[in-house]
Amino acid sequence: MVRGSLKRIVSRCWRQPFDGETSCKAGDANARVDGLLWYKDIGEHFTGKFSMAVIQANNLLEDHSQLESASSFINEHLFGYIKKFTTENHGMSADVINKAFLATEEDFLTLVAKQWPSMPQIAAVGSCCLVGIICSGLLYIANVGDSRVVLGRLEKALKEVKAVQLSSEHNVHSESVREELRSLHPDDPTIVVLRHHVWRVKGIIQISRSIGDAYLKKPEFNKEPLLQKFRVPESFEKPILQAKPSIVVQKLQPKDQFLIFASDGLWELLSNQDAVNIVNACPRNGIARRLVKAAVREAAKKREMRYSDLKKIDRGARRHFHDDITVIVLFLDSQVISRDSCCAGHSICFQGANAGLSR
């Protein structure tokens, strides 16, 4: 079964911070569980219908409360800050979202400082965060980490729905991300290290931005009693990782059909266009679950095994075949969006807790 903590994290990722939550909760009668798969096939949202699904591959962490401490904390604080700063700003803006991310980060680092004496390993807890906000016909996408959002856009001349990637990923497998880190830390020759054919920040983590991960942001948490495997040997003065999000703002158009928000586990197995093709060709009901299954089938194919056999492998061992995968598909109703106003903004928050694991 998908563990309760994971279901709670995922179900809380769907928010309407200005009008209240949707009915997608862990106890929702429309939510279903199938082995390691948790899903809600179809639901109503102000801007259209949505579908969501998650499949677990990783085993339980040593303390799953640490896993929740990052993702749950973001859900409980980020949207409040978005609402607060939107009110103060008299409207939504990229600056509002940036301030909300940084305020949430500051609050979490304060929490780490308070819990450090009794639970020092919380310093190695962090989360990626991908947020989508639709307000007054504008789409705001903000991201730290390596989750991704892809837009399905109808190209009438070609009679095709094309994939348009909207988010920038902060993963050091990208040369541009490695160069950004090197420019920020010109005196540190080991800011990015190639280890076992994988690039990592300080040889530890693959992402360059996150909320949390205090041990890579404040030197006072890079010491005992934090576990040795998380500590950076060299002292540092400036944060190694950032919490500043990459933000994209664009006007939604009638030809914009849907948005696919997904963790890196999906994109490791399906291309942007493959995912868009599946959503475009299939019924809306259950489409997120269909995407997850398509990715798992691809994972089985790569290992030359049957999908049915891979499904029998339990979490923990399943991680050798694919990562955790979480997907939210939001269908866009252009008529509803055109009538939307900023006081009725709607948000998706999408996180992946790393809990000190290499990424």
The CA–CA distances, whole Å, from 347 to 61, 77, 310, 344 equal 29, 14, 34, 10
**177 domain-assigned:** no
How many other C-beta atoms can be found within 10 angstroms of the C-beta atom of residue 281? 10
Domain limits for position 306: 31-171+207-358
The pLDDT of residue 341 = 53
The answer to whether residue 1 sits within a structural domain is no
Given a contact cutoff of 8 angstroms between Cβ atoms, the answer to whether 257 and 160 are in contact is no
Residue 81 lies in a domain: yes
Total domains in the fold of the chain: 1
Query: Residue 77: its pLDDT value, please?
Result: 92
From residue 148, give the alpha-carbon distance in Å to each of 141, 151, 256, 261, 289.
10, 10, 17, 6, 17
- The CATH number of whichever domain residue 276 belongs to comes to 3.60.40.10
| d(C-alpha 238, C-alpha 236), whole Å | 6
Q: How many CB atoms lie within 10 A of CB 179?
A: 12
What the block records as the tokens of 85 is 């700063």
Residue 174: the pLDDT is: 95
The helix-helix angle for 4-11 and 64-89 (nearest 10°) equals 10
Task: Report if residue 5 sits inside a domain.
Answer: no
Max CA pair span of the chain: 62
In a domain, 8, yes or no: no
pLDDT for 322 equals: 84
φ/ψ of residue 355, rounded to 5: 45, 40
Q: In terms of DSSP bridges, do strands 148-155 and 160-165 run parallel, antiparallel, or are they unpaired?
A: antiparallel
pTM attached to this predicted model: 0.85
Question: Residue 315: what pLDDT?
Answer: 78
Task: Tell me the C-alpha distance between 341 and 137, whole Å.
Answer: 8
- Residues 127, 145 contacting (CB under 8 angstroms): yes
Q: What pLDDT is stored for residue 311 in this prediction?
A: 83
Residue 163 falls within a domain, yes or no? yes
In a domain, 95, yes or no: yes
Identify the pLDDT of residue 347. 60
> Considering the domain boundaries, does residue 142 fall inside one?
yes
pLDDT of residue 81: 95
Q: Which residues of the chain have pLDDT under 70?
A: 1-29, 59-69, 336-359
**pLDDT given at position 352:** 52
What's the DSSP call for residue 58? S
